[in-house]
A = this chain, B = another copy of it.
C-alpha cells in the first residue's frame, strides 16, 4: 500500500497532506492507490454523485483519528467519515479531494455488562457481530437494519438506522447512551453516560445520532442492551387489496397489540421475490402482511392478530408453525430490496414514513404515481411504523426512464409530506434528499440546523455537501 501511495499522482497539496498524515499514522493506514480508493468512494446508493478522494485513512486508535482531524483542520481538507458503506442515501460518498475516514478497523467490543445492560464498542463493530456477542450473555441489541450482517455500529449511529424490530423496540437513537466523539479540530469530547438515566446538560448524544458524520467522528459508543426475548413466531396474511392490508395494520395497532414485527410487501415485491428466490409466495395476493410476536405466548397473540386480519378482509391467514417456518417468511421480506433491484437493474429506494393511519393513502398514492410515470414501483414497508420503502425499478441506461424514475421518486416524497409524514424514516438525508430537507423543515428549522452545524464544524470540513 505504501508503494501505491508513492506511485499515485502527487500534486503538492496532496503530497503535503499525505506527509502530515503519516506523521501520526502507520503507512498501511493510508491508502492512495486510485483503484483501491475508488472502492471507498460511495455507499450503496450507487446512482448518487460521488467524488474522488485524495486518500483513504484507516485509523485503529482514537489518537490516530484525532491526528487525522487535526491535520484536516490545519490543511482545510474535507473529511468523509465512513462505516461499511451500506447506506442508501449517499451519506458516506466521497467528495473530490476529500479524506475518506473509514472507521472499520476500530472494531473492538470493549465491554459487555449484563448487570448494567450495556455494551461499550468501537464504531467499526459490525451490527451482527455485536448482536451475537451480547446474545452469549442472554442480551440483545435490537436495532436490526437489513444490512445488519455488514453494517457497522458507527454507521448505524451516523444514519440513525432502523430495521424490522422498530415497531416494538424503536430505533438506534434509543440505544445510544453515550459517545466519545472526535471534533472537527481533533479534540475529544465525551457525551452522555453509562447509567440508565441522566439529564446533565443538553443531550448532545442524540444530536450526533443521525448527524451523518457532519458534526464529529464517533470513536466509542456506550449502548443500551435488552434481555433477549423469546424467539418470535411469524404469521402471514394475504389480502385482496393493499387498502385492506393497511386497514388490518390500523386494527392491530389500535387494539393495543405490540408485535415484534409488522411488515408489508405489495404484489410487485412478492412477485420480484418469487422470481429471485423461487420461494413460492402466493402471487395472487395484492398485499402480504407479516406479523410476529416474541411474547411468552406468541401463538395466542398471533391468533388474536389473525382474527383482526380476517375482520379486515384477509383472504388467507397462515401462522408459522415453528421458528424455521418463521425464519423463511422473514427471509422473503429481507430479500425484497435485492429482488426489486433484479427487476430492471437499478432501483431508487425511498424511505417515506407516514402516520400509520395514513398508510393506506400512501400505498394508493404510490400506485397512482407508478401508473403516471409508467414505472414499476414495488413497496415493502415497516407497516407497523408507517415506514414505507417505495422502490422505483428502472433501467439506468435509458435516460427517459431514469428521468421518470427521479421524478416519481420526488413525487413520492411530496406525497409523504402531504400525508403528515417525513421524507426519511430511517435511511437519512445524505446527498439523495438534501434538497428535500428544507421542504420538510421549513426556513426557521433549516436556519437552526445550520447553526448547529456551524457550532460544531465552523470550517465546514466534516462531510460537506451532505444533509444541506
Contact = CB atoms under 8 A, between A and B. Distances in A.
B196 A202 contact: no
Contacts of A444: 183, 187-189
Copies in the complex: 2
B204 A445 contact: yes
A467 B200 CA distance: 9
A114 B356 CA distance: 10
Interface string A185-225: 00111110111111111111011011100010000000000
Interface in A94-139: 113-118, 138-139
A160 to B, nearest CB: 4
A452 interface: yes
A455 B445 contact: no
Contact of A455 (B297, B354, B454): B454
Interface in A252-274: 253-254, 256-258
Contacts of A173: 203, 206
Nearest to A167: B196
A445 B191 contact: yes
Contacts of A440: 200-201
Contacts of A428: 199
Contact of A250 (B115, B227, B433): B115
A32 interface: no
A428 B197 CA distance: 11
Contact of A190 (B201, B209, B445, B449): B445
A429 B201 contact: yes
B194 A424 contact: no
A228 interface: yes
Interface in A431-462: 433, 437, 440-442, 444-445, 448-449, 451-456
B451 A356 contact: no
Contacts of A210: 199, 201-203
A254 B195 contact: no
A452 B118 CA distance: 28
A185 B250 CA distance: 41
B425 A385 contact: no
A143 B204 CA distance: 22
Interface residues of A, number: 88
A43 B429 CA distance: 42
A357 interface: yes
A138 B425 contact: no
A421 interface: yes
Interface string A39-63: 0000000000000000000000000
A426 interface: yes
A162 B207 CA distance: 20
A423 interface: yes
A9 interface: no
A26 interface: no
A353 interface: yes
A322 interface: no
A406 B429 CA distance: 49
Contacts of A166: 196-197
Given A253-B115, A357-B116, A455-B451, A207 B203 contact: yes
B355 A452 contact: no
A387 interface: yes
A445 B455 CA distance: 12
A196 B385 contact: yes
A296 interface: yes
Interface in A274-325: 295-297
Nearest to A451: B455
A15 interface: no
A116 B356 contact: yes
A437 B200 contact: yes
Contact of A117 (B194, B253, B454): B253
Interface of A: 113-118, 138-139, 159-160, 162, 166-167, 170-171, 173-174, 183, 187-191, 193-204, 206-207, 209-211, 215, 227-228, 250, 253-254, 256-258, 295-297, 353-357, 382, 384-387, 420-429, 433, 437, 440-442, 444-445, 448-449, 451-456, 467
Given A201-B445, A203-B206, 4 more contacts: A191-B445, A195-B425, A199-B210, A201-B429
